[in-house]
Chain A
């Protein structure tokens, strides 16, 4: 049901754009919606981050995955149990670029004779990494539409991505990888009963949306060609604030663009904010130095204390007369 609702929503968005991009509403899809969606994306994301940052994190609560800094003869695991800010930074770099904590993913299975066995489970990590890196390369490749002149690194990226020179225009490996990875991630969600049980519409919808974006892009590049000069006019017009929406760019292009707009507008209100959230995860970005430094909770209430020293001072004479042993003297 959740799958069906998500699928219907994405397919409806596709048909809406396919039909309306051919009418007088084209400027809506080529000009107004991209600006609105981008503003929503940027402001929404900043708002989410600020809201997170308003929560104090009084203690260091990193998840520790190795030996903490201790006596000199115990080897300290710097990346898995960082002690300084620099070590925590190193841990974050590996987390953001290579999803190190997902690499540690394990799976629990029951053997036929009823024993519980834990095993390594790398498929989610591999498909996730393939998807995210492909997405990054694809986004960077799209800079060729937004930048004039096209910078050298974008051309290098295109050359490497199209290394095998299959077909004209050249087949990009990332196009293959991203569709394959997303298909795997979808099938994993549907076919594993435990994963399907915890999956929400909020999980299926972005998956279908991204798949829709990738597939409309693939269709446009390899099958139903479009006028790239017109596409570049649209993209350049958006970033130079002289937007146009030429008909020559084609309905499929405006559909692709509309799906991207939906993604951008949906981004700050969905699980996709993990792009910012990973940087603000206290279990990842803090150094484990609780034993070396004192971290005071900023909202601790003022507590009235009366130490033994003060007590002894107050009742000094009485205690002395009664013959109690005193610390002072």
Chain B
């Protein structure tokens, strides 16, 4: 092999670059566990102020667990940003405040802070966990409050 030093160095640099994630995870990256989405599910405090004006079906079971979300969990995980985006356009441009879900239900007068965050109260524990992990920085909070009264 000619210019063996340069060629081997080149191959080594290239191999190092394309395998960089392996080295990064082995050194800098923390211990990686799959995100347990059921852990720390926000416990809703029924006494929270303003909670009573939620749509009735979104209200809580007696033990504090939420009865129903506007969409099934799997659907929400993948599509929540599209729903929020569509709501915003509907409310701001068409003055339509109700949401018709894939389950066929119509939910009246939905809001981000006023509805979603009534149950999912803590942005840091609910929104941010997935967003930070996936490197997403949604600009919802440029305008919306990230807390409801009584939550954090």
Contact = CB atoms under 8 A, between A and B. Distances in A.
B48 interface: no
A231 to B, nearest CB: 8
Contact of A228 (B18, B22, B136): B136
Contact of B85 (A45, A143, A149, A167): A167
Interface in A222-267: 225-229, 231-233, 236, 239-240, 242, 244, 248, 250
B104 interface: no
A70 interface: no
A232 B35 CA distance: 9
Nearest to A145: B134
B69 to A, nearest CB: 15
Contacts of A20: none
B11 A46 contact: yes
Nearest to A38: B18
Q: Is the interface of B mostly helix, strand, loop or mixed?
A: helix
Contacts, number: 106
Interface stretch (B60-68, B76-84, B114-122): B76-84
A288 interface: no
Interface residues of A, number: 46
A56 B130 contact: no
A50 B79 contact: no
B15 to A, nearest CB: 6
Interface string B23-56: 0111001101011010000000000000000000
Given A168-B81, A240-B25, A148 B32 contact: yes
A214 to B, nearest CB: 20
Contacts of A46: 11, 15
Interface in B107-152: 130, 132-139
16 contacts: A42-B15, A42-B19, A45-B14, A50-B7, A57-B2, A145-B134, A149-B29, A150-B135, A225-B78, A225-B82, A229-B134, A232-B35, A233-B34, A239-B22, A240-B29, A240-B32
